[in-house]
């Protein structure tokens, strides 16, 4: 009964490098959400995806950030040319859709040096 | 104040006591969810209460929802040291014609249960 899986759990990048974060939703869930949490803050919505579709990316910065959820494989959140301000915990959640409970993964903690 | 704002910011109690945390929000909602986050860890889903429900129980947890006051409370009875964590409420905005998937979180209540 695996929950939402995220990897890596910790990621260190130097400024200008790319960060690639992966999320495998809970079994039976086809809806994936990415959130970002800055220190001492609550989570902020970034993007909502279903298989092969981006439904809502209104919380994601227009530049350098992209997300995908291919037909096969995990959802990927990609951050190009990282800057120090990208340092945060990135959480993925999944659900069976609609106004239902979202179940969160353990998060990826990104540190940009 | 932002949607899904918890109160108090921090709460310290002794083991065995009850802990009550409150959450206020602004827009109409479909549901309200409570989550727990241990330091440096992911979020654990505790309970979801729908907008047409007033109270819900799960083990030692009791959640109430007052849509007229746009507020919710989370009560943890007979607290344990292991309950030490941050607690967040999260709301969607589906009830106001907005998205029913985009959760808005507050900054959380840090609960410390002293043994």
B34-55 pLDDT, tens digit per residue, is 999 988 788 899 999 999 999 9
A13-30 pLDDT, tens digit per residue, is 999 999 999 999 999 899
Q: Mutate which of B103, B104, B109, B110 to test chain A, going by most A C-beta atoms within 10 A?
A: B103
Is the predicted pLDDT of residue B27 greater than 70, yes or no? yes
Confidence label for B12 from pLDDT (cuts 50, 70 and 90): very high
| Nearest neighbour of A42 by CB, restricted to B30, B94, B108 | B108
- Nearby residues of A34 by Cβ (< 8 Å), 6 or more positions away: A23, A46, A47, A49, A60, A67, A75, A77, A90, A91, A92, A93
Is the predicted pLDDT of residue A7 greater than 90, yes or no? yes
Residues of B with CB under 8 A from a CB of A: 4, 30-31, 33, 35, 40-45, 48, 50, 88, 90, 92, 94, 99-108
Task: Count Cβ atoms within 10 A of the Cβ of residue B56 and give its class: 0-12 exposed, 13-18 middle, 19 or more buried.
Answer: middle
Q: Are A107 and A8 in contact (CB under 8 A)?
A: no
Q: By the CB < 8 Å criterion, does A103 face chain B?
A: yes
Is the predicted pLDDT of residue B7 greater than 90, yes or no? no
Q: How many CB pairs under 8 A join A and B?
A: 67
Question: Rounded to an integer, what is the distance from CA A63 to the centroid of its chain?
Answer: 16
Residue B94: helix, strand or coil by DSSP?
helix
| Beta strand pairing call for B61-66 and B71-76 | antiparallel
Q: Are B75 and B83 in contact (CB under 8 A)?
A: no
Is the predicted pLDDT of residue B95 greater than 70, yes or no? no
Confidence label for B2 from pLDDT (cuts 50, 70 and 90): very low
A24-80 pLDDT, tens digit per residue, is 999 989 999 999 998 877 889 999 999 889 999 999 999 999 999 999 999 999 999
- Alpha carbons A36 and A96: distance in angstroms, whole number: 21
- Shortest alpha-carbon distance between residue B44 and chain A (Å): 7
Residues of B in contact with A40 (CB under 8 A): 107
Q: By the CB < 8 Å criterion, does A95 face chain B?
A: yes
DSSP calls for B44-84 = EEEEEEETT-SEEEETTEEEEEETTTTEEEEEE-S--GGG-
**What is the predicted pLDDT for the residue at B97?**
60
Question: Rounded to an integer, what is the distance from CA B53 to the centroid of its chain?
Answer: 15
Residues of B in contact with A103 (CB under 8 A): 45
A75-108 pLDDT, tens digit per residue, is 999 999 999 999 999 999 999 876 678 899 999 9
Q: Mutate which of B37, B38, B43 to test chain A, going by most A C-beta atoms within 10 A?
A: B43
Q: Are B115 and B17 in contact (CB under 8 A)?
A: no
Is the predicted pLDDT of residue B13 greater than 90, yes or no? yes
Confidence label for B107 from pLDDT (cuts 50, 70 and 90): confident
**What is the predicted pLDDT for the residue at B54?**
97
């Amino acid at each position: 009964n695996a929950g939402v899986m995220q990897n890596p759990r910790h990621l260190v990048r130097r400024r200008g490098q790319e960060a690639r974060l992966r999320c495998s939703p809970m079994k039976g869930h086809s809806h994936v959400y990415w959130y970002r949490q800055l220190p001492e803050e609550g989570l902020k919505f970034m993007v909502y995806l279903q298989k092969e579709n981006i439904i809502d990316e209104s919380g994601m910065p227009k530049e350098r950030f992209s997300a995908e959820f291919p037909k096969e494989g995990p959802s990927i959140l990609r951050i190009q040319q990282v800057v120090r301000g990208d340092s945060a915990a990135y959480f993925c959640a999944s659900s069976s859709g609609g106004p239902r409970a979202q179940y969160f993964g353990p998060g990826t903690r990104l540190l940009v040096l | 104040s932002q949607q899904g704002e918890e109160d108090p910011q921090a709460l310290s109690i002794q083991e065995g006591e009850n802990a009550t945390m409150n959450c206020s929000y602004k827009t109409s909602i479909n549901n309200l969810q409570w989550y727990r986050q241990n330091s440096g860890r992911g979020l654990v889903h505790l309970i979801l209460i729908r907008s047409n429900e007033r109270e819900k129980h799960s083990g030692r947890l009791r959640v109430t929802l007052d849509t007229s006051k746009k507020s919710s409370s989370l009560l943890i009875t007979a607290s344990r040291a292991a309950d030490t964590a941050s607690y967040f409420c999260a709301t969607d905005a589906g009830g106001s014609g907005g998205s029913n998937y985009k959760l808005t979180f507050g900054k959380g209540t840090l609960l410390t249960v002293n043994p």
